[in-house]
Amino acid sequence: MAEQLTLPEKPKSKLTLVKRIFIFIIIALIYIWTFTSIEIRWDNIFSERTIDNFDRIIPKFFQPAVEETGNIMEMMFETLFIAYTGSLAAAIIAIPLAFLCASNMVRNKFLNNIGMWILGGVRAFPEIVLAIIFVAAVGPNPFAGVLAIAIGSTGMLGKLYSEVIESIDMNVIEALEASGANKFQILFYGIFPQVLPEFMSYAIYRFEIDVRASSVLGIVGAGGIGTLITFAYMNRNWEEVGMILLVIIITVTIIDQISGFIRKRLV
């Protein structure tokens, strides 16, 4: 029986080892500089006033204002609608941008870079910053929250979609081209069947994130349950804040469970 030939492992280059040590030292120095530049006032953190505030406020979070449940649930549903509408718009808008970024779909490197710059620029802004911009543009209402969620989610979904497109089986595309299929037939019969399950899975996962994000957009006037959090905080109504947080936790947990089940079925 012939022995299998095994190629000897290449010894690690000393230059590679030096690079790794250098990178480790740089990261360690950044961490040291970060922590040494922070001035922590332990006397303020553990002062009598701070401890008194904790003793006075924290127990109220565990005494939720049940009588406010109806109003809170109404605003929670508004938050869900903001997240759903924004996520749905982002899932659609991200598709053409993803094809523009995919190098196996668009061979022009310049166009690929334009698509990546657009998605990178959109991802640079958190939803709360976009909400401030849109509140100034369209006024303090839920529509500003929808726009903030839609634009903020487009960047991340476009990036994920483009990675899915780049990983498709190109043999299917070549077989359709060889059989004389046109561009639309290739798109609908060769590309979409491969990418749609993962597109939907990522869109549902992004909806989970958007529910959390839309819960705080009301703080800047973009609608949703964040508006109630602001009013309750300003009035020092900590029992209502506790009830709001409880509703958010329960709602997000339920959505996570449902979306996780759906994503397992899709992929």
What are 193-227's pLDDT values in tens digits?
888 888 998 999 899 889 988 888 888 888 888 88
Phi, psi of 243 (to 5 degrees): -65, -40
Q: How many residues does the chain have?
A: 267
For residue 106, what are the CA distances in angstroms to 116, 165, 185, 225? 12, 11, 17, 42
Provide the pLDDT for residue 81. 93
> Stretch 28-50: mean pLDDT, rounded?
71
Residue 26 has pLDDT above 70, yes or no: yes
Structure tokens at 84: 């759903």
Structure tokens at 129: 């910053």
> Stretch 75-94: mean pLDDT, rounded?
92
Residue 8 has pLDDT above 60, yes or no: no
Separation of alpha carbons 163 and 238, rounded Å: 45
Separation of alpha carbons 215 and 222, rounded Å: 10
> Which amino acid belongs to residue 84?
Y
Range picked from 13-17, 131-135, 242-246 for highest mean pLDDT: 131-135
Range picked from 63-72, 99-108, 139-148, 216-225 for highest mean pLDDT: 139-148
Which residue matches tokens 């497109």? 165
Q: What is the CA radius of gyration of the chain?
A: 25
Provide the pLDDT for residue 83. 92
Q: State the CB neighbour count (10 A cutoff) for residue 120.
A: 14
Mean pLDDT of the chain: 83
> Stretch 232-245: mean pLDDT, rounded?
83
pTM of the predicted model as reported, rounded to 2 decimal places: 0.76
For residue 19, what are the CA distances in angstroms to 13, 14, 25, 27, 144? 10, 9, 10, 12, 47
Confidence of residue 2 (pLDDT cuts 50, 70, 90): very low
Contacts of 208 (CB under 8 A, 6+ apart): 252, 255, 256, 259
Confidence of residue 42 (pLDDT cuts 50, 70, 90): low
Confidence of residue 149 (pLDDT cuts 50, 70, 90): very high
Confidence of residue 9 (pLDDT cuts 50, 70, 90): low
65 φψ region: left (φ > 0), alpha (ψ -120 to 50), beta (else): beta
Of 156, 246, 144, the closest CA to residue 208 belongs to 156
pLDDT tens-digit readout, 252-262: 889 888 888 88
Confidence of residue 57 (pLDDT cuts 50, 70, 90): confident
More confident residue, 217 or 65: 217
Provide the pLDDT for residue 1. 44
